[in-house]
Amino acid sequence: MDVKKLVLSGIAGGVVFYILSTIGVAIIQAFAPFNYLDLPGMRQITDPVLLLFFLYPFVLSFAMAIAYQKFEPSLSGNFFDKGKKFGLMMWLVSSLPSAFIVYTSMNYPVGFTVENFFASFFYMIAVGITIAKLSE
């Protein structure tokens, strides 16, 4: 496992994830607005632990970078093809089931589910491509 590539791709993937997810949420908010802080179970804005919520893109990106190093030998093509395949695979095993569970078991706003399902498709693939490029 190449630690330097892992750290670099984890950080870069987190930045890409954060930027694209922020754009995705903004677009979805225009059509199906909701407030994260009004969702049941969310911490209050004054709770310092809520700051850890903003680390999520980096936690997921580092997990994806570790998984990529394990799966990379089984992926074919150039970095773009490998990244697309890997990002799609990660979307299928993380975002899709999460959106399904939220939609079927929680009374959350439709915008939340749409963001989890559709926006995550694009940023998971973009993070996959980023990680693949930096892992070359």
pLDDT in tens, 68-103: 999 999 999 999 999 999 999 999 999 889 889 988
pLDDT score recorded for residue 75? 94
Residue 118: pLDDT over 90: no
d(CA 103, CA 91): 16
pTM above 0.85, yes or no: yes
pLDDT, greater one: 134 or 110: 134
Q: Give 84's contacts (C-beta < 8 A, 6+ positions apart).
A: 125, 128, 129
How sure is the predictor about 66, in pLDDT bands with cuts at 50, 70 and 90?
very high
| SS3 (DSSP) at 50 | helix
Contact 19, 57 (CB under 8 A): no
